[in-house]
Chain A
Amino acid sequence: MAAISSTYKDPSGNFVWWIEGDRLAIATLIGDANTRETSESSYKAVQLSTSTSYQADGSTDNDLGAAITDTTATSITVEYATGFSANDLIKVDDEIMKVVSVTNSTTIVVVRGYHNTIAATHVDATLIYELDVVTDGFVISYYGEPDKLTAIDGTTAIDLDNSLQSLLIEYVKGHVLLDSAAKQVDPNMAQIKIGLGQAFLSNFRDGLRRFGMKKNDKTGGTRGIVPPNLT
């Protein structure tokens, strides 16, 4: 597996991240990533050391031992399978595959079309390239959203903190009452339902404010604007 170069032993000292629109950037201040250097400063894409673990027989290349003739086959034949291990990412033509397991010395099981590439057919003896990847190389923490409820049954719990579940009931009751008021023929009954509905929704809003601040949307500000060249 590829690894972060020993130069970057303590990532906190050299790496930075930021959000730009709907993209997350991870960059480093040192290294020699000439191809991905930012235009206005010296932030660079992360460079990983490469592995030569595929050349199990000492040769320089590893390639397909047989053509891949369909786009769904997950068991593929290679020249030397022993150099692979689970979670390796490999690239055959433009398709990226994830190694699931090694069956024997010439067969591996893969996930096709990984990283949103398109599964395709490949001819015999196509070269296999290692994709330099640190599997699960970074972790992000974020303010998430509750999962959608797909059915009303007695087993699926609402994906909410306990303290917020009663507020959800207030929200639903409030809206049901307001909608129901709109259908009332009797204006007095409608007025009662409107009052109750508004009270429930007011409780909902007040309760929600007690539990947390409203999130900002994803912002970046400079998305798509090229820094001016002042030289």
Chain B
Amino acid sequence: MAAIEFTGKEIYSRVLQAVPGVSQNYVLNLINQGLIEIGQYKNKIEHAKADLVHDQMWYTLDDDRAITINKVFRCAIKSNEGDYVIIPRLTRADLKTFDVESTSVATTFTEL
């Protein structure tokens, strides 16, 4: 266990020292509010995989799914040999090249 790794109970006990008598539910809500605020900063890199589907260009990244995807910065696809090869990101200048015909498909991502 790391030197600093708090549980909700430990945070609650520290808050009680500052303000006695506050409720657990109130502190729980504040903890989650703080986590949302911290989550707006680039401090946690995650990876997720999904199936590559024939003839499908668009894959939906909904934030209300199990995996929240705020900012994708890298993408790799599997080669015939089974290796994941990083592919380049199209720059903003090229974004006129989007598909007006196909619709995106809600995609099931699995966190790695």
Q: Which A positions have Cβ atoms within 8 angstroms of B?
A: 2-4, 6, 8-12, 15-20, 22-27, 33, 35-41, 43-48, 50, 89, 114-116, 131-149, 151-169, 171-173, 175-177, 180, 196, 204, 208, 211-218, 220-222, 226-227
Contacts and interface: CB of A to CB of B under 8 A. Distances in A.
B72 A48 contact: no
A24 B77 contact: no
A46 B70 contact: no
B48 A140 contact: yes
Interface residues on B, range: 35 or more
B103 to A, nearest CB: 10
Contact of B41 (A26, A173, A213): A213
A140 B72 contact: yes
Contact of B28 (A33, A152, A163, A173): A152
Contacts of A44: 57
A142 B48 contact: yes
Interface in B1-56: 2-12, 14-15, 18-19, 22, 24, 26-28, 30-56
A18 B78 contact: no
A170 B28 CA distance: 14
Contacts, number: 352
Interface of B: 2-12, 14-15, 18-19, 22, 24, 26-28, 30-63, 67-80, 84-90, 92, 94-102, 104-110, 112
A193 B74 CA distance: 45
A53 to B, nearest CB: 15
Contact of B47 (A24, A38, A139): A139
Nearest to A24: B59
A154 B95 CA distance: 49
Contact of A169 (B11, B50, B61, B68): B11
